[in-house]
Structure 1
Amino acid sequence: MDLAAVVNEVAEPRVALMGHYIGTPAAVIAMLNEPERYTHLMLHLPIPMGGERSGMSQHSEINDLIDGTVENLLRLGWQHHDEAARRALLTMIAPTADEHTLRDLSQTMHHYPSMNRLFGLVREMRDLDLRDQLRDVEIPTLISIPYEGEGTEAGYSSTSREWARIIRGARLVVAQDDTPVLVDGAPIITQIAEALEEFIGVEQSIETAGQATRTILFTDIEGSTSLVDRLGDTRARSITREIEQLTLSAIREHDGVQVKTMGDGVLAWFGAASAAVETAVQVQHGLANHERYSDVFVRIGISAGEPIAESDDLYGTTVNQAARIMSIARGGEILVSDLVRGLLQGRGFSFEDQGRHELRGFRESVQLFKVDWRAEASTPAATEGSET
């Protein structure tokens, strides 16, 4: 039964669609053929295809050697029942997987109907190049990849990141498990399921963002471009991911809604100004309390108003103002608009007047205030009993 037949059997008029590795091109093509049938697109570990493969290594013969090694191990392990070959390949796929996960991987691969058919399918998918078609994807898209580990420069990860850049508004999630194959019992299954559930829930909740006054939070890693030069590519990428996860965790803890991540920053909205500022304070404390981030600084801008919700994004004056305020802030600072400061009067936060500033794209200057997040008054405990 093909994908279209399966979708036609579903009672819901529109469904979410997921593709895994060699199934990612089929998922993209199916969605583009019938975009009205799908609400969300999730792609786990997109397979390197066409011209993308040439960018995986400076030497194409290395790719050919790797492919040949994998193919030989597959044949030996699952067609000729060579346990050593199975173990060697599984260790390549998931170097830190436990015995239970390795057994499941082995069983999953053992039940492939035909290794020759599998090899042919992989080669066929790799000959495709969908980068032009990816620009036509308009539904909310989530791309997930397994954890690569320190010092790893996987071609598969490069493909995933390129797809995330090409697809408008796509979000990239890095799991904390390095098992790329989605097998029962592997921790990555739970992590990807949670990411998908949150993703679909967030997309639905964004639709309500423009219905009332909201507080918008923008974060940015100061000097992210020069971060690679200072720290090296591996450490810079690792730290960027860690800061993103720290920020998203703080947003969730304060009932915020993540709108999108931008590699070196995050956009989110909150129903209460206090929740937005408490999130910002938690992020700054989280960074300041770890020596690992001693030379990395995040700047945060916060504004309030009525944003415009469209598809999977927020637009309008309020969002633009938060972005401009963030651009004025220095690393380690939280700047808020006068409206946000007014909403928090008597809530126990400490502010420093920064005067009026000209914001690009705005006719009138805006009064800005810096949150003194290091002050005792800016901690949640200090707000008790201080509300008016």
Structure 2
Amino acid sequence: SALTQSPIFSMPVASVESCGPSSPFFRASSSIVGKIRHEEEVLDRVLATVLFTDIVGSTERARELGDHAWKDIIERHHAVIRAMLGRYRGREVDTAGDGFFAVFDGPARAVRCAQSIAEAVRTLDLQVRAGVHTGEVETIDGKIGGIAVHVGARVGALAQPSEVLVSSTVRDLVAGSGLAFEDAGEHELKGVPDRWRLYRVVDA
């Protein structure tokens, strides 16, 4: 028929074998898909400042106060931190027990937020330790991850009661902001390569 004589129907059709895993077409397609996936992963990375806080001696305080009183303190603690995050335009990512994980689009605001949190929770007779780091983070299914998150958590874990520790990256980025720091020395961060120089935030 005229239809079957059309140029479209006269075009050669690739055999099943020619589209197999060893075919040039398959290899080229796989390469393109791989590149697209890699680009998507790269595009899901953004520069952000992470803040971690943790109540000092929470287990002992909970035992002293009892479950009911401690629950009330925790609720007030959470309310204080969320108020400060709102004030400094931070975004809560996660909270586990008495710890908070938040992200900011500016390191100076993150540091000032941490300072304000440490000061505010004293009214609850609490002390927190805080850590701040800036780096590339990955967004995976709406969650924040990546090496920068691990660094921030490890920095926070090294802070003393009512202390805000920051990485050298943060210290360098906020130069000229009016924030003041003291050298806290070099440290190994568990699970993170190399040694890291940290700085404690002090009153300007």
Q: TM-score, normalised by structure 1?
A: 0.40
Decide whether aligned partners of structure 1 residues 305 and 350 sit closer, same or farther in structure 2, where only a CA change above 3 A counts: same
Corresponding position of 1:235: 69
- Code of the residue aligned with 2:107 in structure 1: it is A
Match of 2:57 in 1: 223
Rg larger in structure: 2
Distance 2:108 2:177 in 1: 8
* Secondary structure in structure 2 of the residue aligned to 1:320: helix
Aligned-partner residue type, residue 252 of structure 1: G
**Aligned 8 A contact 2:46 2:138 in 1:** no
Report 1:140-289 matches (<5 A): 210-288=44-122
Secondary structure class of the residue paired with 1:212:
strand
Partner of 2:140: 310
Q: Which residue of 2 aligns with 1:322?
A: 152
Q: What amino acid maps onto 1:233 in structure 2? A: D
Give the equivalent residue in structure 1 for 2:187: 357
Distance 1:341 1:235 in 2: 38
* 1:200-227 CA distance string (max 9 Å, x none): xxxxxxxxx9543110001111122222
Does 1 or 2 have the higher relative contact order (CA < 8 Å, sep 6+)?
A: 2
* Maintained 8 Å contact 2:150/2:192: no
Please say if residues 216 and 322 of structure 1, whose CA atoms lie closer than 8 Å, have aligned partners that are also in contact: yes
Structure 1's unaligned 5+ residue stretches are 1-208, 378-388
Distance 2:89 2:116 in 1: 13
- 8 Å contact 1:284–1:332 — kept in the other structure? yes
Segments of structure 2 that go 5 or more residues without pairing to the other structure are 1-42
Contact 1:244/1:265 (<8 A) preserved: no
Residue 235 of structure 1 deviates from its aligned partner by 1.7
For residue 329 of structure 1, report the CA deviation from its aligned partner.
Answer: 0.8
In the superposition, the TM-score normalised over structure 2's length comes to 0.75
Residue 114 of structure 2 aligns to a residue whose secondary structure is helix
Count of matched residue pairs: 162
Equivalent position SS for 2:80: helix
Partner of 2:127: 297
Runs of 4+ in 1 over 6 A off after TM superposition: none
- Indicate if the aligned counterparts of 1:259 and 1:312 stay in contact, CA closer than 8 A: no
Letter in 2 for 1:239: I
Instruction: List per-residue Cα deviations over 1:243-302 (Å, max 9, x = no partner).
Output: 1111111111111111111120111110000110111111112123x2xx23x2111111
Contact 1:260 1:313 in 2 (8 A): no
Name the amino acid aligned to 2:145: Y
RMSD over aligned Cα, in angstroms? 1.5
How many angstroms apart in 1 are the aligned matches of 2:161 and 2:78? 15
The CA deviation at 1:349 is: 0.8
- 1:341–1:369: 8 Å Cα contact kept in structure 2? yes
